[in-house]
């Protein structure tokens, strides 16, 4: 697949703050790519550099192999939907959507037809004459999206476009983005702090932390092989255990945690030197006594919390390190103080670098 955008050692400093810190990344033509990270990690700063709303302190942004230094935002083949939508309050829906095309010199029937097509795409046909001030939050988001799509950009930049919407609308709009991406064939670049959004929409995604990209991959790889503890926690693998010792052979390691042996996989040729054992919550299950002892560990129940469709059961090793697993809401959860047996399915335990678990000075850990 052709490279739509190449980022080459990009730095953006604001005084002493390195908002973007040496980012190198290729975004492929036609893919849905997400920059995922918590507040302040630098994802919006990076998006602004791609859109041409800001200049890098160092490094190069390339579109289709061409250097974009000196090319202003309005001359780049991108359109952006910002968190603050910036709709014109004195214009109706059609005027808002058609504004950019009008600037390009379109008018009359051809302008009207394009605006109608864009409104149909976001399921707002019949809303052309409405006042934008009386629309719902979701409808306003759709107008902003139609305004960007009508320009038929090869690249669409979406900066937290679902922030501020209620849960139902978020889901509706999220699905809409997925459909629009397929229908338009454009390159979509989404900035979000919401991992569900990122996982459900992205062909590939990058997890950012303090201006740097910690991992770029297809969504499933973040669970099969998270780059480090920070990334694992960010995608929802909360069980990160400190082993007493690790014995390595080929691509498998046997970690000992509070005297119990856990077989863990690791990516790369050698395991990280300062490693933690991450345990995937979806690959653990409670088993009755008497089952085959391989890959079964014994833990003590700390608490069970009812979650509607499931119970979250917190279990502890003898050294107090904790594991959380989920059981069906239909089953009676084990009681606090009880000893239980947990089967670790293949690939449940991963040996990963402990980066992100250290208390970093001034960090957001």
Ligand X SMILES: Nc1ncnc2c1ncn2[C@@H]1O[C@H](COP(=O)(O)OP(=O)(O)OP(=O)(O)O)[C@@H](O)[C@H]1O
For position 11 contacting ligand X by CB under 6 A, the verdict is: no
What token pair was written down for 114?
Answer: 């394009």
Check residue 193 for interaction with ligand X (CB under 6 A): yes
339's enclosing H/E stretch is strand 339-344
Q: Does 140 bind ligand X (CB under 6 A)?
A: no
Q: Is 144 in the site for ligand X (CB under 6 A)?
A: no
Concatenating the DSSP letter of every residue in 194-228 gives -HHHHHHH-SEEEEEETTEEEEEE-TTHHHHS-SB
**The one segment of 39-47, 92-100, 236-244, 312-320 that binds ligand X by CB under 6 A:** 39-47
Walk across the sheet containing 296-306 and list its strands.
284-287, 339-344, 296-306, 310-316, 322-328
Query: Is residue 158 at the binding interface for ligand X, with CB under 6 A as the rule?
Result: no
Give the residue, chosen from 2, 9, 14, 58, that forms a contact with ligand X under the rule CB under 6 A: 14
Closest CA to 242 of 276, 280, 278, 271: 276
Report in angstroms how near the CB of residue 264 gets to ligand X at its nearest: 32
The stretch near ligand X (CB under 6 A) out of 42-50, 56-64, 68-76, 323-331 is 42-50
Q: Which two tokens stand for residue 185?
A: 């064939």
Task: Determine which residue in the list 4, 5, 7, 41 makes contact with ligand X, applying CB under 6 A.
Answer: 41
- Interface with ligand X, residue 258, by CB under 6 A: no
Choice between 17 and 286, CB closer to ligand X: 17
Q: Quick check: 237 binds ligand X (CB under 6 A)?
A: no
Cβ neighbours of 303 (radius 10 Å): 15
Q: Which is nearer to ligand X, 174 or 209 (CB)?
A: 209
Which residue's C-beta sits nearest to ligand X?
Answer: 44
- One of 21, 22, 25, 40 touching ligand X (CB under 6 A): 40
Q: How far apart are the two ends of the chain, measured CA to CA in Å?
A: 37
Give phi and psi for 239, each to the nearest 5: -85, 105
Contact yes or no for 38/230 (Cβ under 8 A): no
Q: How far apart are CA 54 and CA 343, in angstroms?
A: 52
The residue within the footprint of ligand X, chosen from 44, 139, 202, 228 (CB under 6 A), is 44
Task: CB nearer to ligand X: give 39 or 245.
Answer: 39
**Nearest CB to ligand X, comparing residues 45 and 239:** 45
Please report how close the Cβ of residue 44 comes to ligand X at its closest, in angstroms. Answer: 3
Separation CA 315–CA 97 (nearest Å): 54
Q: For residue 38, which of 170, 239, 235 has the smallest C-alpha distance?
A: 235
- The answer to whether the beta carbons of residues 92 and 130 sit under 8 Å apart is yes
State the nearest-atom distance from the C-beta of 230 to ligand X, in Å.
15
Is residue 215 involved in binding ligand X (CB under 6 A)? no
Q: What angle do CA 44, 48, 52 make, to 5 degrees?
A: 175
From 143, 149, 161, 147, select the one nearest 186 (Cα to Cα). Answer: 149
Please report whether residue 201 would count as binding ligand X according to CB under 6 A: no
CB of 59 to ligand X, least distance (A): 15
Nearer to ligand X, 12 or 147 (CB): 12
Least distance from ligand X to the Cβ atom of residue 33, Å: 16
Rounded CA separation 217/237 (Å): 16
- List interacting residues with ligand X (CB under 6 A): 14, 17, 19, 37, 39-45, 193
């Amino acid at each position: 697949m052709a490279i739509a955008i190449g980022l080459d050692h990009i730095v953006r400093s604001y005084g002493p703050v390195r908002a973007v810190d040496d980012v190198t990344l290729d975004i492929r033509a036609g893919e849905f790519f997400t920059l995922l990270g918590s507040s302040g990690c630098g994802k919006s700063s990076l998006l602004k550099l791609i859109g041409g709303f800001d200049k890098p302190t160092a490094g190069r942004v390339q579109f289709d192999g061409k250097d974009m230094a000196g090319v202003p935002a309005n001359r780049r083949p991108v359109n952006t939907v910002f968190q603050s939508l910036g709709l014109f309050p004195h214009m109706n829906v059609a005027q808002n959507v058609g504004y950019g095309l009008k600037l390009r010199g379109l008018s009359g029937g051809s302008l009207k037809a394009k605006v109608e097509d864009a409104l149909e795409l976001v399921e707002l046909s019949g809303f052309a004459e409405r006042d934008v001030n009386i629309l719902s939050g979701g409808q306003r988001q759709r107008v902003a999206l139609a305004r960007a799509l009508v320009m038929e950009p090869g690249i669409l930049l979406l900066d937290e476009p679902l922030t501020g919407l209620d849960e139902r609308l978020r889901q509706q709009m999220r699905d809409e983005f997925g459909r629009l991406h397929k229908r338009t064939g454009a390159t979509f670049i989404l900035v979000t702090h919401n991992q569900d959004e990122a996982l459900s929409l992205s062909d590939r995604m990058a997890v950012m932390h303090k201006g740097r990209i910690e991992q770029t991959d297809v969504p499933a790889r973040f669970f099969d092989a998270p780059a480090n503890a920070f990334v694992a926690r960010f995608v929802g693998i909360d069980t990160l255990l400190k082993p007493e010792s690790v014995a390595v052979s080929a691509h498998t390691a046997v970690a000992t945690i509070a005297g119990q042996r856990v077989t863990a996989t690791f990516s790369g040729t050698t395991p990280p030197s300062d490693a933690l054992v991450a345990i995937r919550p979806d690959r653990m299950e409670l088993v009755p006594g008497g089952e085959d002892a391989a890959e079964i560990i014994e833990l003590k129940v700390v608490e069970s919390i009812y979650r509607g469709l499931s119970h979250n059961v917190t279990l502890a090793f003898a050294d107090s390190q904790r594991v959380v697993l989920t059981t069906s809401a239909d089953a009676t959860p084990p009681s606090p103080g009880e000893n239980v047996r947990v089967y670790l399915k293949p690939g449940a335990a991963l040996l990963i670098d402990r980066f992100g678990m250290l208390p970093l000075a001034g960090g957001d850990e």
